[in-house]
Chains A and B, each alone.
Chain A
Amino acid sequence: MSKPSLSTRNLVFAAVIVGAVIAAVELFLRRTPDATFLVALTYTTAIVEGCVALAATGELSKGVWLIPIKRELYSVYPLLLVVAFLSLLLGAKIEIYGWSEQPNGWLNVRFFLARNFVVLFLTFLAARKLVTAVRRGSPHKNRYAAFYIALFIVSQSLVAFDWIMSLEYPWVSTLFGGYFFIESFLIGLAVATLILFFRMRDPSHGLTETLRDTAKMMFAFSVMWVGFFFAQFLVIWYGNIPEEVGYVFTRVKEPPYAGLSRAVIVSVWVIPFAVLLSRPLKTVAPVMAGVASLIAAGLFIEKLVLVLPVARVSPPALAIEVVLLLSLVGAFIAGRDSIVPQGVGAAGGNEAGG
C-alpha cells in the first residue's frame, strides 16, 4: 500500500489527545453529572476487549480461520490502557450512582474506582504480554491468551456489575456479567467483519473463507446473545418479584424504552439471524458489513436502554465522545503495522493442521 502507515508515535499522540479532550470536556465543560461518558466508555471497552478476546480465543482453539485478521484485532490492545485511565474519570460523575451517598463495603467511591482501574490495567498487561508472545512466536502464548480471557471475563463482569448494574442498586441480576462479556465478544466479531470488509476492497484479498467463518461465528453469538437476553428476561418476568421486576418492566414494557428494546432485538438478532442463515450471502462483504454495523448499532442502543431510565445522557456530547473513541479504535486498527508488525500473524499463530 502506498499510504504511509501510522507510526506508534502518531497513535500514542492521538490516544493522549482524545483522552485529554474527553477528560477536559467531562471535568470542566460538563459539570452536571450524567451518564454520557459512562455509556461512551462502556461501549468502547466492550469493543476493545472484545477484539482482543476474539484473537485470544483464536490462539487457544488454534482457530486457523482467524489468522488473516489477527493483527488488526490485536492492534487495539493499547487502548485497554486508555480505557483503564479513562475509567478513573467516572469518579467525576459518581453522583449518578445512588450508592455514592450511602456507601457500603463494596460500593464506595475509592474501592469502586480502584478495583475497576486495577482490573482494566491488568487486562492491558495481559494483552500486552499476549501480543509480545505472539510477535515472538513464543511457545507460551497460549498461557497468556488464557490469562487474557480470564481477565476479560472478570473485567467485563465488573463493568456490568459495577458500572451499569449498580446504577439501580440494589437490583441484582447474576447473569449481567455473562451477558456483558457475550456482548463484548459479539461486538468483537462485528468489528472483525468490518475489518474484513475494508480488507476485501483489494481484489486480491483471498479472504472469502475467512468472511464465511466470521459470519458463522457472528450468527452463533447473535443467537447466544438473544439466548442470554431471554434467560435473564424470562426468569425476572416469571418470578414477578417486586425487587426485580421493575427494572425489566421499565425497559421492556414502558414507552419509550419498549420501542428501543424491540429495536435492539431486531437489529442484534432478528435481522442478523435471517440474513446469516443464507449460505451465499455469508460471502458478500457489503451485506456482512451491513449486518455487522446493525449489530454494533443495536448493542449501542442496548447500553442506552440500560442506562437511560435511571440517568440522563446528553446526545450531542455522547455523539462527540463516541465518534472520538471509535475513530481512535479505527486509527489503531489502521496503524496495525506499527503495533503488531508484519509477518507475525502467519508465523506466530499457525499450528498447521489445527
Chain B
Amino acid sequence: MSSAEEKVQYHRLVEEEVLAGMRKPRRAYWVTLLGCLGLAALGAVLWGYQIKKGMGVSGLNNPVGWGTYITNFVFWVGIAHSGTLISAVLFLFRAKFRGAFNRSAEAMTVFAVMTAGLFPLIHLGRVWHFYWLLPYPNQRLLWVNFRSPLMWDVFAVSTYFTISAVFFYVGMIPDLAIAKRFEKGMRKRLYSALSLGWVGSFRQWKHYNKLYLFLAAFATPLVVSVHSIVSWDFAMSILPGWHTTIFAPYFVAGAIFSGTAMVITLVVPMRKLVGLERYITIDHFESIAKILLFTSLLVTYSYIVEFGLAAYSGSVYEKGTFLYRLTGDYRYLYWGMLFCNSIVPLTLLVRRWRRNIPFLFGLSIFVNIGMWLERFVIIVTSMARDFDPYSWGIYRPRLIEAGIALASFGFFFAAFLIFTKAFPVVAVTELKEVADE
C-alpha cells in the first residue's frame, strides 16, 4: 500500500468485494440455509412436544436434574464470549489483525447469546412461567431471589445480549452507510435507515470513536463477568466437582477457547464462499490459532489443578468425584474431552500446522466437540454421584434432547447465514483505515 493511487484502488476494491458477498446467493446457499432452518424447525416441533407431554420426555430425573439443556446453555454462552474478546478486547489492545474477523465474531456473539437464551426456557418446562424470573411489582408482594446465581444469570445474559447487540450495530453503522451506496430501492432505504444518515463528519467520528471505546471497555469486563456468573450456577452449590473457586476463570478461558474454535469453523467456509481470501489471510488465522493454543493450555492447567487438589485435599467426596469422572459411567466422554481439549490443540505448537487452514478447520471441530463434552461431563457427573450413595443415579439423554441440541446448531447457523447476506461480513471501514497506515 505504498502509493496514494494504490490506496484509493484498495478502498474501492475492498468495498466492492466485501459488498459483493451480499448479492444474490447461489443454490448452495439456499440449500444450506433451508437445511439449517429445517433443523431449527424440527427443534421447535420437539420443544412443542415437550411442552405438551412434560419434562419427563427428556432424560432428566433424580438425581441428575440438569443435563443437555444446561450443557447447551453454557456451551452457547461460551461461544458468544470469544466474539466479544476478538472484537472488544483486541480493539483495546490495538491488535491489527482484528479487522478481518471482528464483524463475524460480533455477529456470532449476538446469535450465540440468542441461542443460549432459549435453553433456560426449554429447560423450564412450563415456559409460560418464565416471567416469574423478572422482578416486577405484583399483588402478592413477591420479589425474585437476588441471591440466586440463576437470577444473576438473568441479569448477566440480558446485559450481555443488549450490549453485544449495541456494539455489533454501532460497529456496523459506517459500513451500513457504505452498503446504502451499493443498493437500490427498498434495500437502499433499509440501509439508509439503519445507518441513521451517517456521513462521516468530524463531529460524528469524534463521538463515535469515544462511544466505540466505551462500548469496548464495557464489553471487556462483560466477557469475564458473564461466564464467571454462569460458572457460579455450579460453583455456588456445595457439590464436589462443582464447588470450587477456580470455576470463574476456568470457564472464561474455556469459553474463549470454544468460541475461538467456532470462529474458525464459521470463517473458514465463509471466506471461501464469499470470496474474502484477500482480506482474511493466513496470518490472521495463525493469530487466532495462537489464542486457541493459549486458552487450551489454560484449560489444561485447570484440569490438572482441579484433579491434583482433589487428591491433595484428602476429601473422600472430592477424590470420589474425580475418580468417577475418570473411571465411571461417563469415562469415555471424559477421555474424549481430555483428548479434544488438551491433546489435540498441542499440535498448534507446530508453526506449519498453525498456518494450514484445512487443519485448523478440522481442529476447530474437535475443540467444539471437546468443549461440549466438558460441559456435559462437569454438569452430569457431579449430580450423578454426590454425597450420599443412596441417591446415586445415571442420566441418559433421550433423542428429544439430542434433537433440540442439534436444532440449536441449525438455528445458530441459519442466523449466521442470513447475516452473511444481509450485512457486510468484514469491517470495511476498519480495513481501509489499517491499509492507509
B249 touches A235 (CB 8 A): no
Number of A-B contacts (CB under 8 A): 76
A239 touches B238 (CB 8 A): yes
A235 touches B312 (CB 8 A): no
Which residues of B lie under 8 Å from residue A178 when comparing CB positions? 246, 249
Give bound CA distance, A157 to B305, whole Å: 9
What 0/1 readout, one digit per residue, does chain A (224-254) give for beta carbons within 8 Å of chain B?
1001100110111011010100000000000
* Residue A159 at the chain B interface, CB threshold 8 Å: no
Which residues of A lie under 8 Å from residue B236 when comparing CB positions? 234-235, 238-239
Which residues of A lie under 8 Å from residue B297 when comparing CB positions? 150
* Residue A354 at the chain B interface, CB threshold 8 Å: yes
Which residues of B lie under 8 Å from residue A117 when comparing CB positions? none
Counting chain A CB atoms within 10 Å of each CB, which of B93, B237, B312, B314 scores highest?
Answer: B312
* Besides the known contacts A227-B225, A235-B245, 16 further A-B residue pairs in the complex with CB atoms under 8 A apart: A61-B93, A104-B314, A157-B305, A174-B245, A174-B246, A175-B248, A227-B228, A228-B249, A234-B236, A235-B232, A235-B243, A236-B245, A239-B237, A241-B238, A354-B95, A354-B96
Give bound CA distance, A234 to B306, whole Å: 18
CB-based nearest A residue for B297: A150
* Residue B411 at the chain A interface, CB threshold 8 Å: no
Which residues of B lie under 8 Å from residue A241 when comparing CB positions? 238, 243
List 6 contacting pairs A-B, 8 Å CB cutoff, sorted by A. A106-B312, A172-B309, A227-B248, A234-B236, A235-B247, A235-B248
What 0/1 readout, one digit per residue, does chain B (243-255) give for beta carbons within 8 Å of chain A?
1111111000000
Give bound CA distance, A150 to B301, whole Å: 10
B248 touches A231 (CB 8 A): yes
B309 touches A234 (CB 8 A): no
- Given A223-B221, A235-B236, A235-B243, do A170 and B249 touch, yes or no (CB 8 Å)? no
Contact of B313 among A157, A172, A177 (CB under 8 A): A172
Give bound CA distance, A223 to B217, whole Å: 12
* Residue A32 at the chain B interface, CB threshold 8 Å: no
Give bound CA distance, A212 to B246, whole Å: 32
Which residues of A lie under 8 Å from residue B224 when comparing CB positions? 224, 227
CB-based nearest B residue for A166: B312
Counting chain B CB atoms within 10 Å of each CB, which of A61, A107, A174 scores highest?
Answer: A174
* Residue B315 at the chain A interface, CB threshold 8 Å: yes
Contact of B314 among A170, A223, A353 (CB under 8 A): A170
Give bound CA distance, A293 to B95, whole Å: 30
- Given A238-B236, A239-B243, do A175 and B249 touch, yes or no (CB 8 Å)? yes
CB-based nearest B residue for A224: B224
B237 touches A177 (CB 8 A): no
* Residue A197 at the chain B interface, CB threshold 8 Å: no
* Residue B235 at the chain A interface, CB threshold 8 Å: yes
B249 touches A161 (CB 8 A): no
Name the prevailing secondary structure of the B interface residues: helix
* Residue A285 at the chain B interface, CB threshold 8 Å: no
Give bound CA distance, A107 to B95, whole Å: 44
Give bound CA distance, A288 to B118, whole Å: 47
* Residue A83 at the chain B interface, CB threshold 8 Å: no
Give bound CA distance, A239 to B232, whole Å: 11
Contact of A170 among B93, B221, B244, B313 (CB under 8 A): B313
Give bound CA distance, A354 to B314, whole Å: 48
- Given A150-B297, A170-B315, do A175 and B238 touch, yes or no (CB 8 Å)? no
* Residue A153 at the chain B interface, CB threshold 8 Å: yes
Which residues of A lie under 8 Å from residue B305 when comparing CB positions? 157, 174, 177
Interface residues of chain B, those whose CB is within 8 Å of chain A, are: 93-96, 221, 224-225, 228, 232, 235-238, 243-249, 297, 301-302, 305-306, 309, 311-315, 318
B164 CB to nearest chain A CB (Å)? 20
CB-based nearest A residue for B89: A220
Which residues of A lie under 8 Å from residue B244 when comparing CB positions? 174-175, 235
* Residue A173 at the chain B interface, CB threshold 8 Å: yes
Which residues of A lie under 8 Å from residue B309 when comparing CB positions? 161, 172, 174
Give bound CA distance, A138 to B377, whole Å: 44
Give bound CA distance, A223 to B224, whole Å: 11
Which residues of A lie under 8 Å from residue B301 when comparing CB positions? 153, 157
CB-based nearest B residue for A150: B297
What 0/1 readout, one digit per residue, does chain A (78-115) give for beta carbons within 8 Å of chain B?
00000000000000000000000000101100000000
A161 CB to nearest chain B CB (Å)? 7
A172 touches B312 (CB 8 A): yes
Which residues of A lie under 8 Å from residue B243 when comparing CB positions? 235, 239, 241
Which residues of A lie under 8 Å from residue B247 when comparing CB positions? 231, 235
CB-based nearest B residue for A243: B315
B167 CB to nearest chain A CB (Å)? 19
List residues 193-232 of chain A with CB under 8 A from any CB of chain B. Answer: 223-224, 227-228, 231-232
B218 CB to nearest chain A CB (Å)? 13
Which residues of B lie under 8 Å from residue A354 when comparing CB positions? 94-96
Counting chain A CB atoms within 10 Å of each CB, which of B96, B238, B306 scores highest?
Answer: B238
A248 CB to nearest chain B CB (Å)? 10
A329 CB to nearest chain B CB (Å)? 28
B101 CB to nearest chain A CB (Å)? 16
Contact of A175 among B221, B225, B246 (CB under 8 A): B246
CB-based nearest A residue for B237: A239
Give bound CA distance, A223 to B221, whole Å: 9
B315 touches A231 (CB 8 A): no
Give bound CA distance, A326 to B212, whole Å: 42
Which residues of B lie under 8 Å from residue A234 when comparing CB positions? 232, 236
Which residues of B lie under 8 Å from residue A235 when comparing CB positions? 232, 235-236, 243-245, 247-248
Give bound CA distance, A354 to B93, whole Å: 11
Which residues of A lie under 8 Å from residue B225 when comparing CB positions? 227
Which residues of A lie under 8 Å from residue B248 when comparing CB positions? 175, 227-228, 231, 235
